[in-house]
């Protein structure tokens, strides 16, 4: 068995599950007839049979990604350092598999003791990414991770026409020791968050003539904020949280403007997180002041 076959087999076995989604991504194809993403849904044997084709696509510039199909028992934490992974292990969060996506940069898949719902899976991934300095932009229930045994075709990693191989560094496939306690903790937090949204909604509920809430564009058009995006984002977040709008919807609204000046995807996600936390604190103070 060659090294690519071995790496793919070990990664799939460690991930577990019956069916996987494979994504072959090539951003350069976006401007012509070639699709940027080629999706495939295969069981383990189909993935193994397709390795020669995947190699061909990889050589032609496509990055090879994998994720379980549907709801599952895994969480992907992206953009980790070796030190972060060692800290995870010391805390009882031993990854089921670790993939080195480029020199010194890692993805870790943690296996839980049971399948997680979409909401719970996203909350768990975000909590882990925050705790271990992973990429919040990649923290959700169904994010793609790289499939080991192929090359990372990002241009910034090219050296003399060569690209680094995605290496499988660990693959025991086991749930982490803190799984049950941690999942219970996140479930409790989600329940508290749901109750808090209901409390906020009740605290400020009042009839509206149109029956509709204001969108973020109405704040952007308000001359009071003089086009200051940071002030607008905070003002909208306060309003939306007070009216029970889910955090994810507020996140999407804030990201509807260009945030590249905040930095890379990770820094943009951190900016949105800070805005939501500050808005929530202001709403909570207002509710307490009203005695509600």
Instruction: Check pLDDT > 60 for residue 92.
Output: yes
pLDDT of residue 281: 87
**Judgement on whether residues 84 and 168 belong to the same structural domain of the protein:** yes
Evaluate whether residue 110 is within a structural domain: yes
Tokens linked to 48: 């193994």
> In the predicted model, what is the mean pLDDT of the chain?
90
DSSP H helical ranges for the chain? 3-15, 44-49, 51-59, 82-90, 118-131, 179-204, 216-220, 229-242, 247-254, 265-289
* pLDDT classification of 279: cutoffs 50, 70, 90: very high
Residue 225 exposed, middle or buried by CB count within 10 Å (0-12, 13-18, 19+): middle
Q: For residues 51 and 288, what is the distance between their CA atoms, to the nearest angstrom?
A: 60
pLDDT in tens, 236-250: 999 999 888 888 899
Query: Quick one: pLDDT at residue 30?
Result: 47
247 with 119, same domain: the answer is no
Res 207: pLDDT: 45
Angstrom CA distances, 226 to 214, 220, 275, stand at 18, 9, 18
Tokens of 38: 């080629």
pLDDT at 29: 55
Domain count, the chain: 2
Q: Which domain holds residue 280?
A: 206-289
Both 177 and 212 in one domain: the answer is no
> Does residue 110 share a domain with residue 54?
yes
172 and 217 share one domain: no
Looking at residue 204, its pLDDT comes to 53
pLDDT at 263: 84
Is 131 within the bounds of a domain? Answer: yes
Q: What is the CATH number of the domain that holds 231?
A: 1.10.1240
The verdict on residue 194 lying in a domain is: no
Asked, for residue 250, whether it belongs to a domain, the answer is: yes
- pLDDT one-digit tens code per residue, 204-230: 555 444 457 899 999 999 999 989 999
Range of 152-156, 198-202, 208-212, 232-236 with top mean pLDDT: 232-236
């Amino acid at each position: 068995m060659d090294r690519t076959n071995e790496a793919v087999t070990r990664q799939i076995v460690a991930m577990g599950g019956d069916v996987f989604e494979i994504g072959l991504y090539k951003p350069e194809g976006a401007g012509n007839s070639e699709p940027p993403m080629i999706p495939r849904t295969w069981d383990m044997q189909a993935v193994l049979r397709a390795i020669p084709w995947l190699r061909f696509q990889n050589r032609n510039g496509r990055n090879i990604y994998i994720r379980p199909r549907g709801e599952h028992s895994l969480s992907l934490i992206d953009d980790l350092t070796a030190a972060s992974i060692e800290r995870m292990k010391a805390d009882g969060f031993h990854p089921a598999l670790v993939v080195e996506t480029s020199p010194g940069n890692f993805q870790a898949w943690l296996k839980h003791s049971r399948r997680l719902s979409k909401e719970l899976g996203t909350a768990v991934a975000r909590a882990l990414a925050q705790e271990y300095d992973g990429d919040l932009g990649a923290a959700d229930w169904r994010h793609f991770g790289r499939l080991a045994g192929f090359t990372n075709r990002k241009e910034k990693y090219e050296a003399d026409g060569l690209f680094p191989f995605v290496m499988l560094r660990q693959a025991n496939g086991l749930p982490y020791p803190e799984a049950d306690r941690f999942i219970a903790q996140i479930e409790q937090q989600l329940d508290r968050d749901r109750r808090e949204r209901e409390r906020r909604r009740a605290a400020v509920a009042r009839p509206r003539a149109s029956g509709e809430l204001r969108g973020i564009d109405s704040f952007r058009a308000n001359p009071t904020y003089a086009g200051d995006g940071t002030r607008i984002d905070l003002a909208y977040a306060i309003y939306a949280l007070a009216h029970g709008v889910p955090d994810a919807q507020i996140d999407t609204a804030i990201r509807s403007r260009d945030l590249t000046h905040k930095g890379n995807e990770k820094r943009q996600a951190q900016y949105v997180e800070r805005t939501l936390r500050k808005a929530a604190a202001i709403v909570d103070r207002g509710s307490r002041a009203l005695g509600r």
